[in-house]
Amino acid sequence: DVKVTQSSRYLVKRTGEKVFLECVQDMDHENMFWYRQDPGLGLRLIYFSYDVKMKEKGDIPEGYSVSREKKERFSLILESASTNQTSMYLCASSPSGGLAGGLMSNEQFFGPGTRLTVL
């Protein structure tokens, strides 16, 4: 079974702190994604990565950065946490992107989520 793990289920930080959220997948997937989930807004893509050291902005990248030094690990960084970044953060991975492996291979496998509260 594909397994995607996230470093914490719950996290409480103070405004201005630097926050690291870590995500690890064990199925050699090419693509990894970071989303935030807020009520009424669904999941919104922050950043994604299609290869080691490669990253692309999603729909809401402001205030966030990412790092992918190894294929299995994708980190989300909040350089200076703010209260409006209080949210549920979900990491996902997929075998490939686009048409390369067929559209079904775009299925994303999710981690359990990290509920971040910024005080």
Interaction between residue 51 and another protein (CB under 8 A): no
Interaction between residue 88 and another protein (CB under 8 A): yes
β strands within 1-119, DSSP E: 4-6, 10-13, 19-25, 31-38, 42-51, 54-57, 64-70, 73-78, 87-94, 109-110, 114-118
User: Given candidates 46, 94, 116, 118, which one binds another protein under the rule CB under 8 A?
Assistant: 94
Which one of 14-22, 62-70, 71-79, 102-110 is the stretch in contact with another protein (CB under 8 A)?
102-110
User: Given candidates 7, 8, 86, 105, which one binds another protein under the rule CB under 8 A?
Assistant: 105
- Token pair recorded at residue 89: 């953060």
For residues 85-118, one letter each, b for 16 or more C-beta atoms within 10 angstroms of the residue's C-beta and e for the rest, the string is bbbebbbbbbbebeeeeeeebeebbbbebbebeb
5 vs 80 by CB, closer to another protein: 5
User: Given candidates 16, 107, 117, 119, which one binds another protein under the rule CB under 8 A?
Assistant: 107
Beta bridge partners of 66: 76
Which residue type is seen at 80?
A: S
User: Given candidates 8, 22, 50, 86, which one binds another protein under the rule CB under 8 A?
Assistant: 50
Interaction between residue 28 and another protein (CB under 8 A): no
Interface ranges with another protein (CB under 8 A): 31, 33, 35, 40-45, 48, 50, 56, 58, 88, 90, 92, 94, 96-99, 102-110, 112-113, 115
